[in-house]
Structure 1
Amino acid sequence: MRIDIEPDSSTAPYEQVKLQILDQVRNGRLIAGTKLPTVRALAEQLGLAANTVAKSYRELEALGAIETRGRLGSFVAATGDASEGAAARAATEYVATVRGLGLSDDLARSLVEAAIRGA
């Protein structure tokens, strides 16, 4: 597993770690069941604080991309990258919220498009 941290990037180091691991899962370079380095080992390798890597791992676990098995360590989850499913659930919740506010689907679409452009 290769991760490169760009110290001058506007993206926080924990986010860089998370995004690069997700990319490797999505591209099949990290397959389900692959054991990830320990938090301390990866932090040392990257020259980061252990809490920085731990935050990345927690967010990856929340996305369903990795799973922690206690003392055995962290592994790429059997489902791999579950972010598409999480995005679909968020979209469904958004639609329910917008409709609950009595707004039109066209307005909901334009709000999403504006948010994407602004991101």
Structure 2
Amino acid sequence: MTRGERALLISVDAGSSVPPYEQLRGQLAEMIGDGRLPVGTRLPTVRQLAADLNLAANTVARAYRELESAGLLQTRGRHGTFVAPGRDDAMDRLHRVATDYAAEARRLGVPPAAALALVRAALDATRPG
């Protein structure tokens, strides 16, 4: 591991109904959200993490892309992928609430599609006008 990298304690359950990329994305998002992966932390390469977790490289790449789209990660070309700076407090708080919601939905056995539908309905209900 190079300077700025941290060991990632991630596990992917092949028998889970949750797709592997989503398990990985969720665990990384949680680690970023609660500060276990602070801003500037360099993540392993896609290939390295895929090998470490016995996953396909495309699975890890998808999780990284989704986290980058959410503003949690930043790819700096050949320099690697890092926890993104500039997250604001509102997004951090909302991420924590979303993580708690996802955990509660899973605990209650609510399928991800149904949990997302509930969130969409709640967002639509709070739309002005």
Q: TM-score, normalised by structure 2?
A: 0.63
Aligned counterpart in structure 2 of residue 25 of structure 1, from 4, 25, 32: 32
Point out 4+ residue stretches in structure 1 off by more than 6 angstroms: none
Question: SS in structure 1 opposite 2:42?
Answer: coil
User: Once superposed, what is the RMSD of the aligned Cα atoms?
Assistant: 2.7
Aligned counterpart in structure 2 of residue 49 of structure 1, from 56, 72, 75: 56
Q: In structure 2, what residue type is equivalent to 1:19? A: G
Are 1:84 and 2:91 counterparts? yes
CA contact (8 A) 1:31 1:80 kept: no
Question: SS in structure 1 opposite 2:74?
Answer: strand
Structure with larger Rg: 1
Q: How many residue pairs are counted as aligned between the two chains?
A: 92
Are residues 36 and 113 of structure 1, via their aligned partners in 2, closer, same or farther at CA, if it must alter by over 3 Å? closer
Q: In structure 1, what residue type is equivalent to 2:22? A: E
Aligned counterpart in structure 1 of residue 10 of structure 2, from 3, 7, 13: 3
Between the two proteins, what is the percent identity of the paired residues?
A: 51
Q: TM-score, normalised by structure 1?
A: 0.68
Measured in 2, the distance between the counterparts of 1:13 and 1:40 equals: 15
Long gaps (5+) in structure 1: 88-110
Are residues 71 and 115 of structure 1, via their aligned partners in 2, closer, same or farther at CA, if it must alter by over 3 Å? same
Long gaps (5+) in structure 2: 1-7, 95-117, 124-129
Are 1:74 and 2:81 counterparts? yes
